[in-house]
Structure 1
Amino acid sequence: MREIGVPHPRPPLPAADSEDDMAAFLAWLGEAIPMVPALGIREMTRDGDGLAWSLSLTPSLNDKGTGFGGALAAQTTLLGWCWTTLWLRRHGLARDVVVAEASQRFLAPVTGDYRLTCEPEAAGGPEALAERLAQRGKGRIALVQRLWCGDTLCLEARGDYAVLPDG
């Protein structure tokens, strides 16, 4: 049981020659953030610079039988946090990440199970983050999340994620 004000221990960094096991990371995330098991995440996958979740709509239904905007916004924010945290882990860094700014644009109702994707807003975003971390010990990256219901883009979100100084 999580306690207010007590940080959850970070999982160990992956070995230098391997990447995170997505299922193990998702299990850790469910322990670290109690609401995660209720989000309906079925799978987390990495595709190049992107990260994606496959989700069931049922846990996020609203009174109209479509996706509840607040739940979808929380999911986009958390996926960006995961992208940043996993990027840091691939670079051998265990650091704290916080969302600094987030916005969503709802384009169509979410009427079934869906896929949520996350990628850097700018092609050079990860390199710029690495440079800022090396120079200042902290940095920020802009990420874009998109929610797809089949071929329909239902939601676009953007978030700035800050990597805090070590210690």
Structure 2
Amino acid sequence: MTALDALGARILEAIPLARHLQFSLLDYQPGALLLGAPLAPNINDKGTFFAGSQAALLTLGGWALTTLEGEACVERVDVVAAESSLLYVAPLEADAHIRVHAVPDDLAVFARRLQRRGRARLAIAAELMAPGKEVAARFTAYYLARDLSASHESVD
């Protein structure tokens, strides 16, 4: 089982809402994650992708990327969303792709701080869109990660 498959299984087991979203973790490269979700279980009364589902998927995507990046540095990590901003740009009338990226300069600092201090903050940006189409929502957030596996230095 890949790290991506294992994380998907953990999410489905721990977060009941995720089962209703019917999301998939499609691809992971260091600093970037691609998720997918079908329209049907996330549809609203207007026949478009429900804004609440978009918010949940974008938040979940940022959490998943931060978790993957944290687990690339330390054995066990606990991640929480600390701050986010979401802009709905256009209605989405199709299945969704969610592209999540760590802010490049922030990723190296995140890894170093997590390893040295046992806690770190990661800035992410994400976009939700129909595959190959224009952006329907833009999301930025900060996630906090804490190493659960060891003791750490108190200075950076």
TM bracket (short chain)? 0.7 to 0.9
Shift of residue 109 of structure 1? 0.4
Q: TM-score, normalised by structure 1?
A: 0.81
Partner residue of 1:134? 115
Distance 1:37 1:141, change over 3 A: same
Deviations, residues 72-98 of structure 1 (Å, cap 9, x unaligned): 011101110000111111223311110
Cα distance between partner residues in 1 of 2:10 and 2:88? 30
Kindly, what percent of the aligned residue pairs are identical?
Answer: 30
Query: How big is each residue's C-alpha offset from its partner over 1:46-89, in whole Å with a ceiling of 9 and x where there is no partner?
Result: 13421011210111111111011111011101110000111111
Residues 100-139 of structure 1 mapped to structure 2, 5 A cutoff: 100-121=82-103, 123-139=104-120
Q: Which has the higher helix share?
A: 2
- The answer on whether the counterparts of 2:31 and 2:65 sit within 8 Å (CA) in structure 1 is no
Tell me the TM-score normalised to structure 2 length. Answer: 0.86
Other-structure match for 1:78:
60
Give structure 2 stretches of 5+ with no counterpart: 150-156
- Partner SS for 2:16: coil
Aligned length: 148
- Give how far 1:133 is off: 2.0
Q: Matched residues in 2 for 1:164 and 1:48: separation?
A: 19
Report 1:28-107 matches (<5 A): 28-107=10-89
CA contact (8 A) 2:76 2:147 kept: no
What's the offset of the Cα at 1:124? 1.5
Q: CA deviation at 1:165?
A: 5.3
Structure 1: segments with no counterpart, 5+ residues: 1-13
Alpha-carbon distance, 1:119 to partner: 0.5
Aligned CA RMSD, in angstroms, stands at 1.8
Instruction: State the secondary structure of the residue aligned to 1:164.
Output: strand
